[in-house]
Amino acid sequence: MAIKKINIAIAGATGFVGLDLVKILSKHPKVNLTNLCATKNLGKNIQFFDKSIKKKLPKISNLKKVDWSQIDVLFLSLPNGEAQKLVKKLFKYKKIKFIDLSADFRIKKPNIYKAWYGINHSAKHLIKDSTYSISEFSRDKLKKFRIIANPGCYPTSIQLALMPLIKKNLINKKNIIIDSKSGYSGAGKGFKTKFKHKNFFSSIQAYKTNMHRHMSELDQEFDNIKKGKIEYSFNPHILPFFRGLLSSVHLELKKNIKINTIYKALKNFYKDNTFIKIVKINKPLGTGNVINTNYCEISVCQGRDKNRIVVFSAIDNLIKGASGQAVQNMNLLFNFKESMSLK
């Protein structure tokens, strides 16, 4: 029997990620977008924020207008600390699945969440009902949970490049250097207050070296695979363009491991994954092919020393790093075709 359409509400529909969610879901054949919620510009059409969205949709409203008994999925594109409050309030509606694009349910230990985000978790009792989901790694367990914690953009690009190699024990786990560069949209609409450096739109800025909050995700997920202590440094940069993210992961190979082995391991790991493309060895990689898509491109390049390589991972930070992966997770939850509305 074909599954009927599901009813969707989006909290935070007018932010950068929220608008991409609206754009993707408005084209989804199994979705009714019933509520687009925000705290400002109530009563406006979504086209006020993005004229490329052609479909006639409900006007922007506040959360009080939602009939929660009719909602199947609530996407939460809210500032850190806000999603947990809303999930706590609405969890009594047994039908609702929550897909959270903030950090509120990514970190399993509330004390670690508090240490990195400075927020006391107000829904600790619901963390057990959540799962952290990079779609390619978690499709078999998603249906057991009502709260899906969508990963951050940096951890998505990094883990897609690294995890298969750690699991196969092909690299030195004590000498990993990660250099990532992202468009400014990753900081949200308030990016101008977060990055006040001179000549923002004509310069590159390194920030939060080895202190970025996404490291809490990486620490947790590296620990979860039980392959020994993973030692890494992480250096993020913000670039003066709107979207796109490129991670350069510098690795030392285990003894007798060659670059061809790395390439084959990645190709084999992702052979059944629609959105992961492993390009030819030593092919230069940028974000050009993945902008406005849910794809991740990965390239393996030989370093100057024969036992060192660089694995490049390119994604669109707003789509594969946020909204697209959230819809991919929704498709998996409801047994829709995984790529539905994402190609």
Residue of 37, 153, 296, 301 marked active site = 153
Token pair listed for 62: 């506040």
Tokens of 308: 């060192």
Cα distances (Å, whole numbers) of residue 40 to 15, 77, 92, 116, 260: 11, 14, 27, 29, 53
CB 248 within 8 A of CB 310: yes
Q: Residue 41: left (phi > 0), alpha (psi -120 to 50), or beta?
A: left
Contacts of 258 (CB under 8 A, 6+ apart): none
Distance CA 193, CA 215 (A): 22
Helix, strand, coil distribution of the chain in percent, nearest 5: 30, 20, 45
Reply yes or no on whether 37 is catalytic.
Answer: no
**φ, ψ for residue 206, nearest 5 deg:** -80, 145
8 Å CB contact between 6 and 30: yes
| CA atoms of 111 and 88, how far apart (whole Å) | 18
Active site residues: 153
